[in-house]
Amino acid sequence: MNDRKEQYKLLSDKKFAFRYNHMLFLPIEFTWNGYTHKIQYNFCTNPLCKWCGQGQVKFETVKGKPSRYKLEGGGKNSQKKLRCNPDPINPTIGMTLNCSPITVSNWSVAEEISRLVRINQTKDVEPEYNFHKDSCIVGHLTPFDTPSEFYKQGKTLNNAQRWQCKVCKKKTSILPNKRQSTTYRQKKNDILPMFAKLLLNKMPISRTCDILEIGVGTYYHKLEWLYRCCLEFLEKYETTPLATASFKEMWLNTDKMHYNLNNVHKKGQGGHKYFGLEDSQVQTYVVVSADTMSRYVFRSDIAYDWEMTVEDLKYDTVVYKEDHLNDFSKKNNRLDFSYYPQEPTDNDTQTPYEYRTELNEFNKRMQYVDGLHVNPTYTTMAHYWL
């Protein structure tokens, strides 16, 4: 980071990007579930080529010290690719087919894996309880750690346990879990079976609201609640058993479906002066991975990151100087806006007009719904790794 900060103003954008091209074959290391993993996806992907799946190697014993792959292409709006070089040591064993696999950012693949792990997990609400009065001498004790210091005072209407401190006599009710109450803080819970049936049969939102006699706000509230229930069911009954299961053979099929999202203006930016900046509907993708034989769906994810903010993108751009890097070196290359536009430096090849145009396009996008689109290639790679 210190080197990037120092070289950013000294080098042109092309020379700066070339300086960090070694990240193309640099494995990314991360920890998940207590295990350390390494990923490196820049290699030949043609199964008929002898370099398929092989990492980069420089043949030191050969004149000129050629490498297994060379980097080529990558104009202003094109993606850089690898090129398989011939084998200078064993040219008669196997064949190299002059393949040209695309390059990806290993760092960005790891970021997409992290995103899919986060959105597939549920976490119970953990409220802060106060089981004692301010003057209680045992105010540091809780019934979770020392239940002998409390009386059980029955249960509430929601089937939640009520505790009473033996010293100060304060009574406190705790939040019920799903086993104790499935209707806690849920009104009109009786509509959920019909709501789920209408949802699976692709009933329009307005028609569903008419049938169930609910408002649009209630519709989306029930939709999120039902989705959380599905995640909890998966985590309890499928994720855990599958983690210990093994299969001799598995045929995975991944499909990418188009999905149209409503491109909604942010609050305060819906007047006539903002009209027509972008399409009213924006196209994204749903990536689905399933087992071909059993038709069991392992994952289904929209290639859209709604957690990414402009502030996060600005920070990454300023710290890592991502506006001057090649795509395969960027942390956020998976996003449709991989960096926040920066003013050209003295040695930059970008003109002030190009910078203003780029910044204007970015600002237009930021007037709409939060989040950024994800390249579905990265979502698919994260699917296969998981």
Note whether 168 and 194 are same-domain residues: no
pTM listed for this prediction: 0.81
pLDDT at 127: 73
Cα(12)–Cα(349) distance, integer angstroms: 7
Residues 309, 332: contact at Cβ < 8 Å?
Answer: no
Where is the domain boundary, 246, 269, 301?
A: 246
For the segment 301-342, what is each residue's pLDDT rounded down to a tens digit? 999 998 888 889 999 999 999 999 999 999 999 998 899 999
Note whether 274 and 335 are same-domain residues: yes
Contacts of 341 (CB under 8 A, 6+ apart): 323, 355, 358, 359, 362
Note whether 75 and 92 are same-domain residues: yes
Contacts of 1 (CB under 8 A, 6+ apart): 319, 320
> What average pLDDT does the structure give for the chain?
86
pLDDT at 83: 93
Residues 214, 191: contact at Cβ < 8 Å?
Answer: yes
Q: How many structural domains does the chain have?
A: 4
Note whether 282 and 369 are same-domain residues: yes
Note whether 257 and 331 are same-domain residues: yes
Residues 341, 357: contact at Cβ < 8 Å?
Answer: no
Where is the domain boundary, 230, 246, 262?
A: 246
Tokens, residue 289 = 């991975």
Note whether 118 and 100 are same-domain residues: no
Residues 54, 44: contact at Cβ < 8 Å?
Answer: yes
Residues 249, 341: contact at Cβ < 8 Å?
Answer: no
HSE of 21, CA atoms in CB hemisphere, 13 A: 15
Residues 243, 298: contact at Cβ < 8 Å?
Answer: no
Note whether 259 and 361 are same-domain residues: yes
Contacts of 261 (CB under 8 A, 6+ apart): 281, 282, 283, 284, 304, 369
For the segment 51-94, what is each residue's pLDDT rounded down to a tens digit? 999 999 999 998 889 999 999 886 655 688 999 999 999 988 98
Note whether 219 and 148 are same-domain residues: no
Note whether 211 and 307 are same-domain residues: no
pLDDT at 279: 60
For the segment 254-299, what is each residue's pLDDT rounded down to a tens digit? 999 988 877 776 666 655 555 555 566 778 899 999 999 989 998 9
Tokens, residue 275 = 């009209």
Confidence of residue 182 (pLDDT cuts 50, 70, 90): low
For the segment 100-153, what is each residue's pLDDT rounded down to a tens digit? 999 999 999 999 999 999 888 776 666 788 888 888 888 888 888 888 889 988
Note whether 352 and 222 are same-domain residues: no
Note whether 302 and 380 are same-domain residues: yes
Note whether 350 and 266 are same-domain residues: yes
Domain that residue 15 falls in: 1-21+108-124+248-386
